[in-house]
Amino acid sequence: MSAKDVLVIAPHPDDETLGAGGTIARSAAAGLKVTVLTVAAHMPPLYSEAVHQKTLAESRKAQALLGAAEPRFLDLPALSLGEVPVAEFNGAIQAVVKEIEPSVVLCPYPDRHIDHRLIFDAVMVATRPVGPGAGIKLLAAYETLSETHWNAPHIEPNFVPSWVVDISATIDLKLQALACYESQVPPFPGPRSLEAARALALFRGTQAGFAYGEGFHIIRMTSAVEELVTGV
């Protein structure tokens, strides 16, 4: 356990890579411990157990490539999270926050996929700046190709990044990790294709002053200026 831990919360296997793969790889390469908590799973009865095991294996492989720490899976059934009592659901996520005591938490933006919304809500409760959440210096939401961009314009919240991390050095690793998800990544011009992921990174990066980037919506930051610029 370290004050510099990073916790990435993924609704389903692949979301952590789509949304923050380059940042995970860069952070890990810099010596930080990055733990990915995957909340939901493609499991029975909606999915076969074979699919379940395949996506878990893909996730382990992708996370290893990125340099993340031992993967954590809550293994709750995808598309049925609303059936878990709220207090229990919030508690399951809060327990991980309490155990890891992360400095940085990255979570999904609330978007088209109902699991992303329910997990966003639970993360927001689990990371409140009291109790286990008091030590979190930065809470930010990442975008998930397709789901995030399918929110209805100006009816539902629309993603606009306030934070862009330079992932020029890890874009290739991100795409290799994404390629591990054979069951989830469609060929071009699929909305989650490797080409789409590269294009989004190039677009975010060039608009922020570098080549490839990952964009985040900052929800709460409490770092002091001297903490922010120490590593510059």
Please give the residues from 18 up to 77 whose contact with a second copy meets the rule CB under 8 A: 23, 26-27, 30-32, 46
Amino acid at 157: P
110 near a second copy (CB under 8 A): yes
Angle, helices 15-29 vs 49-66, to 10°: value is 30
Report the distance separating Cα 17 and Cα 95, nearest Å: 23
Amino acid at 86: V
Taking the least distance from each CB to a second copy, the nearer of 62 and 104 is 104
Taking the least distance from each CB to a second copy, the nearer of 69 and 79 is 79
Site string for a second copy, 190-229 (x = CB under 8 A): xx-x-xx-xxx-xx-xxxxxxx-x---xxxxxxxxxxxxx
Q: Which of 66, 164, 173, 178 binds a second copy (CB under 8 A)?
A: 164
Phi, psi of 208 (to 5 degrees): -110, 0
Q: How far is the CB of 221 from a second copy (least distance, A)?
A: 4
Taking the least distance from each CB to a second copy, the nearer of 27 and 94 is 27
Q: How far is the CB of 200 from a second copy (least distance, A)?
A: 5
Tell me the HSE value of 22 on the side-chain side, using a 13 A CA sphere.
26
Q: How far is the CB of 179 from a second copy (least distance, A)?
A: 16
Q: Which of 100, 104, 171, 185 binds a second copy (CB under 8 A)?
A: 104
Taking the least distance from each CB to a second copy, the nearer of 50 and 189 is 189
Taking the least distance from each CB to a second copy, the nearer of 49 and 156 is 156
Which tokens sit at 211? 């080549």
Q: How far is the CB of 83 from a second copy (least distance, A)?
A: 8
Taking the least distance from each CB to a second copy, the nearer of 61 and 149 is 149
Binders of a second copy among residues 116 to 145 (CB under 8 A) are: 121, 124-125, 128-130, 133-134, 137-138, 141, 145
84 near a second copy (CB under 8 A): no
Name residue 105's beta-bridge partners.
7, 139
Give the binding-site size for a second copy (rule: CB under 8 A).
89
Taking the least distance from each CB to a second copy, the nearer of 10 and 141 is 141
Tell me the HSE value of 131 on the side-chain side, using a 13 A CA sphere.
10
